[in-house]
Structure 1
């Protein structure tokens, strides 16, 4: 059987949800069906080591992401920006150079940010697929006109009901509606459970006070600033507890500075990135999602898998994942909502027992096998 030639594009394989989901998907693909080139803007990230050996990695630049404007970093940063803009403006240089004139059956934007790179491909005969992981109605710069551009793809893969509805509302005919495919993210339940049993490092949980854990890339979308401000307010009111934030990102130093300004360095910990956050999930009393917006917060799948007491802001995907509040407490998407949820957790821990009971007896709608099969079907049928 002839293998389908596929080009997949993503910025890097740093520690984000979309990056993790992509690598999980690739690890579960059959090698005999596809020939895949994975094109990275930046050869960087914790998930590089997890990419299967049979997948060919191509990259535009190598090294870590530059998030500062230090004088010594400016030349390299400027070169990367100019180089990538040049290749975007003249894609033939990329396809005839780095990609060696290869003809692909499918070109796949693994995140919405790769939309224009794929749609501007000089390969007119290839089928085009995009994977949408965010509620674009909440993302700055995505007007109705910008969202309409995604219908240039042959398939629009979305990961939640809310994102699916956003695109259906934007579609102008049945042909466009038929391009939209909802598929839950592929996540490995067994891997989560196995890793959760490993020994903890570098953090001591205090059994005397409840600990709230939040895991994610540290940038404004995740609302860690709101979480810290609520943490401070509750402490001032006498509600003793601790906060553990696990993750890294370009906003890390700002959140670290805010933590010090709020004078909560003794009760709030920024742990940074770890390959295995699951032992921390397991030991913490509550999982809290403080996000301003999401697409389908896969971190909640991990919290559900580990049967955690969950508090989550009412963003895209949360009601779907928590079954309209059966599996966790859904709060208003605001500091007030986060405050109310955390206060309830500290003052009345029995309140969460019904959620845990439902989780213990529920059959999860998310399956690694089903998701991989559904995505593979899109690749096979397009």
Structure 2
């Protein structure tokens, strides 16, 4: 009988993000007879916990809900969590002995860039180490070149877009470091996306409206650019380019964006629905997908919008040129208010564009389909 590879995978939580979804899609589609996997969460929280396959050993540092607000009553718990995690980072032997039961691993994987210190602090020096970069770290101020250079201590660095690959290769100082960088598309489950999109919903806004409908899905953080999206929506309306907009998602910036919606007096044409565990029917029943993000890694929701054959208008962020194939399958705008304005106005005024992009999507083989990505990731794990 073949000896199973023992693998430790670490991630912050299993909340509703692209990195978390990519990891779950991978775990659900790899063979249980080849690997023995421990999945270690910093926080036992998030919608994807229920989707972790039964054969995966699920471990955690802390159990409880994610704290997304800055309320005074939450500060002691937040402080405790930070200190506890720092203690385990400083004394990793405690973590490996008690929480991980002293198991020896062949491979240790950081499933998100923010967990790189935890993997590099592992007392198991003989394990092979992989970091999966799921965000545009080159757009994050705290990730200086000196910090990113530390990533080359990993045996393999998985990146999810051409832009990330190019930037990492620029920082590499020798052949070994260059060879450690591997581009891999996040696995997207087409069948699952299509099934979920056909689910019945009874709260679809603007059902009887004559105006075109844009939808955007994402955690409500400043990086998503919802503040500028609301200003652009108002400007377009004032100029007679009438349309409606749905924003789906929650996050610590939700109240600020909701207040801005109120202040701009656009509540009749914009609906913020908050978090939805299944946003796909809303995407399916809209005319266009709009992404106003300031930065991303690989925006999984764009891949899913393409599976649903939705015309996309997105800012020029990491991963977008790969996903929209340099503009063949959607509008790529400048990463600015003016750019987003121009893209949305094009969709509203140039009626033929919608069918043009839908035809392009239908006639293109999408590179991020589940089986291809899972197979690629398995090959990396098997041959490291």
Q: What does 1:221-260 correspond to in 2, within 5 Å?
A: 221-260=223-262
Instruction: Output the CA distance in 2 between the equivalents of 1:151 and 1:304.
Output: 34
Conserved 8 A contact 1:129-1:157 = yes
Residue 179 of structure 1 is matched in structure 2 by 180
Give 1:214 deviation, angstroms. Answer: 0.6
Give 1:72 deviation, angstroms. Answer: 2.7
Q: 2:335 aligns with which of 333, 336, 361?
A: 333
Residue 322 of structure 2 is matched in structure 1 by 320
Secondary structure, counterpart of 2:326 in structure 1: coil
Q: 1:310 aligns with which of 301, 309, 312?
A: 312
Greater shift in the superposed pair: 252-261 or 128-137: 252-261
Instruction: Output the CA distance in 1 between the equivalents of 2:235 and 2:84.
Output: 47
Give 1:306 deviation, angstroms. Answer: 0.8
Give 1:362 deviation, angstroms. Answer: 1.9
Give 1:295 deviation, angstroms. Answer: 1.7
Residue 68 of structure 1 is matched in structure 2 by 69
CA offset digits 1:314-359 (Å, max 9, x no partner): 1111111111111001111101111111112112222332222212
Query: Mind listing any 5+ residue stretches in structure 1 that lack a counterpart?
Result: none
CA offset digits 1:196-217 (Å, max 9, x no partner): 1111232233441111001112
Q: What does 1:18-97 correspond to in 2, within 5 Å?
A: 18-97=19-98
How many residue pairs were aligned? 382
Instruction: Output the CA distance in 2 between the equivalents of 1:4 and 1:290.
Output: 42
Residue 196 of structure 2 is matched in structure 1 by 195
Give 1:112 deviation, angstroms. Answer: 0.2
Instruction: Output the CA distance in 2 between the equivalents of 1:110 and 1:7.
Output: 10
Instruction: Output the CA distance in 2 between the equivalents of 1:291 and 1:124.
Output: 39
Conserved 8 A contact 2:112-2:131 = yes
Residue 102 of structure 1 is matched in structure 2 by 103
Greater shift in the superposed pair: 344-353 or 332-341: 344-353
Secondary structure, counterpart of 2:103 in structure 1: coil
Residue 221 of structure 2 is matched in structure 1 by 219
Instruction: Output the CA distance in 1 between the equivalents of 2:173 and 2:70.
Output: 44
Query: Mind listing any 5+ residue stretches in structure 2 that lack a counterpart?
Result: none
Instruction: Output the CA distance in 2 between the equivalents of 1:351 and 1:51.
Output: 40
Instruction: Output the CA distance in 2 between the equivalents of 1:87 and 1:201.
Output: 46
Conserved 8 A contact 1:15-1:273 = no
Instruction: Output the CA distance in 1 between the equivalents of 2:72 and 2:312.
Output: 44
Instruction: Output the CA distance in 2 between the equivalents of 1:143 and 1:206.
Output: 50
Greater shift in the superposed pair: 354-363 or 6-15: 354-363
CA offset digits 1:57-111 (Å, max 9, x no partner): 1111111111233333222222111111111111111111211211111110000
Q: 2:281 aligns with which of 273, 279, 282?
A: 279
CA offset digits 1:240-271 (Å, max 9, x no partner): 21111111222222211221122112211111
Runs of 4+ in 1 over 6 A off after TM superposition: none
Conserved 8 A contact 2:18-2:298 = no
CA offset digits 1:176-213 (Å, max 9, x no partner): 11111111111101111111111123223344111100
Residue 144 of structure 1 is matched in structure 2 by 145
Give 1:30 deviation, angstroms. Answer: 0.6
Instruction: Output the CA distance in 2 between the equivalents of 1:234 and 1:215.
Output: 20
Residue 5 of structure 1 is matched in structure 2 by 6
The answer on 1:346 being equivalent to 2:348 is: yes
Conserved 8 A contact 1:287-1:311 = yes
